[in-house]
Amino acid sequence: DEMEIIDDPKDLVKRSPIITIMGHVDHGKTTLLDSIRKSRVVTGEAGGITQHIGAYQVEHGGEKITFIDTPGHAAFTEMRARGAKVTDIVVLVVAADDGVKPQTIEALQHAKASGVPIIVAINKIDKPTANPDNVMSALSAHDLTPEAWGGTTPYVEVSALKRLGIDNLLDIILVLAEVEDLKANPKRDAMGTVIEAYLDKGRGPVATVIVENGTLRIGDIIVIGNTFGRIRTMNDDLKKRYDEALPGTPVEITGLDQVPQAGDIFMVFKDERVARQTAEARSSKLKETYIKQQKA
Ligand code: GDP
């Protein structure tokens, strides 16, 4: 397999965890993502004006945490269906007043199926009708017994709206990430996953990617699915420019010849000719599959 490059253990360093927030509609995923984004200390950025690129990083206790900024598990499901496994930890949001709902169960089943550890965030604890115990017992029936009840699942009570418990949530994420022992090799050529992509009138094809291994640099020759390119610019959601993006970093990139798909894997190639051939071979293979499907 072209992706399987064995890293020398001595080159491996800690990489920041990549988090997806899932849960039932209206339980507060978007509000929580906003609240976490606002929790970061922005130094020097005028007003901290952000643009949505589909992923962002915050610093907490001297460590970086990457959040996939697409609420709802449609993106997660789609990516998983395409074989991408970009998430290290799922934060399952459950509204304390509404309790466990069908999409809560669906979300936890997706997380379990991909073997990703779950942190339960009981949200809306500011509400007078909040009933965290209700959430804990309902989820215990689905193998998510709280640590406080002798289980192994971390729970945290938050109010995304009032911004309560956010620090606790970030603390717990870092503890779990430590247990997961996430490592990457910044010395190798980069690989990772596309989170979002679109065609920009001025900049051409734009894609938000998360670097999972290696270091991505300006000028790198890149293949994403059947798309070929050379990295022209990289920036984050604060419009900060990057010359290089280390493992765990989400960046918006330009310099591609086509718009890739969310969930596509990207790889950096040393040799432009090999990269072009790989993209073209994939392209004709895709066409072949398409023609076969049309005939069938
Ligand atoms: P999503 O569909 O899961 O992304 O949910 P949203 O983030 O859009 O939130 C749905 C509604 O719940 C909005 O009206 C939010 O203002 C509200 N909400 C979210 N978090 C809280 C919270 O912690 N407390 C209260 N009282 N309301 C919240």
Ligand 1: centre distance to CA 156 (Å) = 16
CB of 71 within 6 A of ligand 1: the answer is yes
Ligand 1: centre distance to CA 240 (Å) = 29
Ligand 1: centre distance to CA 121 (Å) = 13
CB of 28 within 6 A of ligand 1: the answer is yes
The confidence score (pLDDT) of residue 83 equals: 56
The confidence score (pLDDT) of residue 198 equals: 94
Of all atoms in ligand 1, which is nearest to the CA of residue 127? 26
The confidence score (pLDDT) of residue 6 equals: 76
CB of 163 within 6 A of ligand 1: the answer is no
Can you tell me the distance from the alpha carbon of 53 to that of 197, in angstroms, rounded to the nearest whole number? 9
Residue 99's closest CA among 33, 151, 26? 26
Residue 91's closest CA among 33, 150, 34? 33
Q: For atom 24 of ligand 1, which residue has the closest CA?
A: 124
The confidence score (pLDDT) of residue 82 equals: 62
* Span between the terminal Cα atoms of the chain, in Å: 29
Which residue ranges in the chain fall short of pLDDT 70?
1-5, 41-48, 71-84, 286, 289-290, 293-294, 296
Each residue's pLDDT tens digit, 36-55? 998 875 554 545 678 889 99
pTM of structure: 0.91
CB of 160 within 6 A of ligand 1: the answer is yes
Ligand 1: centre distance to CA 73 (Å) = 16
CB of 70 within 6 A of ligand 1: the answer is no
Q: For atom 19 of ligand 1, which residue has the closest CA?
A: 28
Residues whose CB is less than 8 angstroms from the CB of residue 234 and which lie 6 or more positions away in sequence, other chains included:
216, 218, 241, 242, 243, 245, 251, 252, 253
Of all atoms in ligand 1, which is nearest to the CA of residue 159? 23
The confidence score (pLDDT) of residue 5 equals: 64
The confidence score (pLDDT) of residue 216 equals: 98
CA angle 23, 208, 164 (to 5 degrees): 40
Residues whose CB is less than 8 angstroms from the CB of residue 188 and which lie 6 or more positions away in sequence, other chains included:
5, 7, 11, 213, 214, 215
Of all atoms in ligand 1, which is nearest to the CA of residue 31? 7
Strand 244-245 versus strand 216-217 pairing type = antiparallel
Q: For atom 6 of ligand 1, which residue has the closest CA?
A: 28
The confidence score (pLDDT) of residue 81 equals: 62
Can you tell me the distance from the alpha carbon of 254 to that of 202, in angstroms, rounded to the nearest whole number? 11
Contact 61, 174 (CB under 8 A): yes
**In 118-140, which positions are buried (b, 16+ CB within 10 angstroms) versus exposed (e)?**
bbbbbbbbbeeebebebbbebbe
Cβ-based burial of 277 (10 A; exposed 0-12, middle 13-18, buried ≥19):
middle
> Residue 92: enclosing H or E segment and its boundaries?
strand 89-95
Neighbours of 154 (CB within 10 A): 23
Of all atoms in ligand 1, which is nearest to the CA of residue 23? 3
SS (H, E, C) 201-247: CCCEEEEEEEEEECEEECCCEEEECCEEEEEEEEECCCCCECCEECC
Ligand 1: centre distance to CA 165 (Å) = 15
